[in-house]
């Protein structure tokens, strides 16, 4: 995966209004890259879940959006959410459906993983968490729409 000089957008995730901005920008960038409607919706939904995690669990942070392409020439978008919060104690547990420490549905992290092609969590206790996801264009099991 390379980032070959293309668009990189960085956005703050500090409050409720930032979540809306993140959703709107991710939607626009996915449209510009030619993502189909279902893929746009999946990526925007994953972005909303992960940005909310950054805000609620990480105490705020930022997200960068990178247009990427792989060796096969596929285009995609990578979203990287960073916070400097307390970190995740047990990542495997946090990725389980229905597990929540904030009284939510516990589907944010586990559900987001299902909406994208690549998903990674890098976390250290007391230092923060970075969650990175990538969706490739036209690779969804539901077709290119």
Give the count of beta carbons closer than 10 Å to the beta carbon of residue 114.
Answer: 11
Beta bridge partners of 69: 2, 75
- Is 54 one of the binding residues for other proteins (CB under 8 A)? no
Question: Is residue 104 within the footprint of other proteins (CB under 8 A)?
Answer: yes
Other C-beta atoms within 10 Å of 46: how many? 24
- Residue number, 18 or 83, with CB nearest to other proteins: 18
What residues contact 9, with CB distance under 8 A and at least 6 apart?
Answer: 25, 29, 64, 65
The reply to whether 9 sits near other proteins by the rule CB under 8 A is: no
Interface residue with other proteins among 84, 111, 118, 122 (CB under 8 A) is 111
Interface contacts to other proteins, rule CB under 8 A: 16-17, 19-20, 23-24, 27, 37-38, 40-42, 44-45, 48-49, 52, 97, 104-105, 107-108, 110-112, 114-115, 142, 145
């Amino acid at each position: 995966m390379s980032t070959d000089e293309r668009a990189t957008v960085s956005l703050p995730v500090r409050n409720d209004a930032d979540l809306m901005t993140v959703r709107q920008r991710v939607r626009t960038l996915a449209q510009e890259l030619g993502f189909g409607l279902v893929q746009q919706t999946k990526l925007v939904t994953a972005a909303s879940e992960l940005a909310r995690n950054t805000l609620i669990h990480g105490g705020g942070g930022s997200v960068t959006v990178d247009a990427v392409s792989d060796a096969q020439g596929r285009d995609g978008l990578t979203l990287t959410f960073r916070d400097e919060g307390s970190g995740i104690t047990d990542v495997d547990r946090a990725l389980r459906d229905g597990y929540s420490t904030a009284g939510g549905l516990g589907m944010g992290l586990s559900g987001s993983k299902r909406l994208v092609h690549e998903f990674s969590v890098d976390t250290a206790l007391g230092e923060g968490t970075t969650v990175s996801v990538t969706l490739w264009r036209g690779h969804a099991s539901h077709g290119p729409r």
